Amino acid sequence: MSRRHHLEQLREFAPLILPSLLLCDFSDLRSEIKRLEQAGVRSLHLDIMDGHFVPNFTYGLPIVAAIRKLTELPLDVHLMISSPENWVQSFADAGADLLTIHAEASTSPQDVLEKIHKLDVAAGVAINPATPLAAIEDCYDLADLVLIMSVPAGFGGQSFDDIALEKISTLRAKLGPNVLIEVDGGVNSSTISRCAQAGAELFVVGSAIFNNEEYGPVVSELAQLASSV
């Protein structure tokens, strides 16, 4: 089965909560993923940071490959790395179902999106709060997903920037129904409804999930808030 089939699943089940594993307990990754599956999540978000494009450094190919072995859930891999064109093949081989690159990290994001599609993987493009939508206008016809950062890429636990809402609303009016809009950074019970109202369909959530002992109730609450607009 084509891994792009998972893209159709994301579209079908949206709005969706995607836990960012950045804040999970990596000493017990198997149990963490099982708990998230039991909480009803339908996809996982993996934040890859290289210490160059962003000042922080997280994990890389071995962890993605390990997570792939632990779950059949679609893996939404967010590449916060320089020269992503050099790495998309490796991350596809590691098990990514969707690869999102940053427009700021490549001299030709359109070419990278085309390369991702040739790997039979869904392709996304992301921008930071300071980057205008004009920077990705040439990517709209190539992207399966547009990721709007409400915080500068590189660290978890940051506060939500309302500029993301303006971008999401503008995008929803411009993009066709097959292009998913994802929002990442500061998404919680106080902000998710506004994101959904603006037009977002996928919601990356980190601390709002992993700061709780039980994941199920908070995932359900967030999903309900996202669906009630």
Distance CA 32, CA 168 (A): 31
Range of the domain at 185: 5-227
Helix ranges (H only) for 119-183 are: 163-174
What pLDDT does 2 receive?
Answer: 60
Q: Please give the tally of structural domains in the chain.
A: 1
b/e code 134-159 from CB counts within 10 Å (16+ = b): eebeebbebbbbbbbbbbebbebebe
Each residue's pLDDT, cut to its tens digit, for the chain (229 residues) gives 566 678 888 999 999 999 999 999 999 999 999 999 999 999 999 999 999 999 889 999 999 999 999 999 999 999 999 999 999 999 999 999 999 999 999 999 999 999 999 999 999 999 999 999 999 999 999 999 999 999 998 765 677 999 999 999 999 999 988 899 999 999 999 999 999 999 999 999 999 999 999 999 999 999 999 998 7
Phi, psi for 153 (deg, rounded to 5): -60, 145
Predicted confidence at residue 143, as pLDDT, reads 97
pLDDT at position 229 is 76
Tell me the sheet residues that pair with 75: 44
The pLDDT assigned to 118 comes to 96
| 120 contacts: CB under 8 Å, gap ≥ 6 | 2, 3, 4, 92
Q: What is the pTM of this model?
A: 0.95
Residue 118's CATH number: 3.20.20.70
- For residue 3, the model assigns a pLDDT of 63
Which residues are designated catalytic? 47, 184
pLDDT score of 30: 97
Using alpha carbons, select from 90, 78, 140, 147 the residue that is nearest to residue 115: 90
Query: Which is it for the CA torsion 55, 58, 62, 65, positive or negative?
Result: negative
